[in-house]
Amino acid sequence: AIQMTQSPSSLSASVGDRITITCRASQHIKNYLGWYQQGPGKAPKLLIYATSILERGVPSRFSGSGSGIDFTLTISSLQPEDFATYYCLQDYDYPRTFGQGTRVEVK
């Protein structure tokens, strides 16, 4: 199975900060990677798919990049509603695998 290593596991930031979360695949997955946001007590929500395509309705402060093995989620200016946990997910092969998650907390 493809392993997805996500870092950091948590980070503290302030409103307005630019933050970056990374995901590394254990093998090449082309651009078959998505990012999901999960607020407390809520189901995950799709933010980005195919590495860099923003899901409809997702604010443009979210962006994704990368290819092959290394991928990045960037939030350009953190907003109060962005404090949540973020997961990457590879859809290159089965079993689908998620990163361990990154919890974004208030500094």
Partner 1 sequence: VHLVESGGGLVKPGGSLRLSCVASGFTFSDYSMNWVRQTPGGGLEWIAHISDNSHYIYYLDSVKGRFTISRDYAKNSLLLQMNSLGIEDTGIYYCVRGVVSFGVKFDTWGQGTLVTVSS
When asked if residue 98 is in the footprint of partner 1 (CB under 8 A), the reply is yes
Residues 28, 45: Cα–Cα separation, whole Å: 25
- 65 touching partner 1, by CB under 8 A: no
76 scored as a contact of partner 1 (CB under 8 A): no
User: With DSSP H G I counted as helix, E B as strand and the rest as coil, what are the percentages for the chain, rounded to 5?
Assistant: 5, 50, 50
Nearer to partner 1, 26 or 77 (CB): 26
The nearer residue to partner 1, 19 or 97, going by C-beta atoms, is 97
State the DSSP code for 55. Answer: P
41 vs 28, 38, 85, 105, CA distance in Å? Answer: 33, 8, 11, 15
Interface residues for partner 1 in 22-51 (CB under 8 A)? 31-34, 36, 43-46, 49-50
Residue 2 or 17 having the CB closest to partner 1: 2
C-alpha 8/C-alpha 96 separation (Å) is 21
Instruction: Output the smallest distance, CB 98 to partner 1, in A.
Output: 4
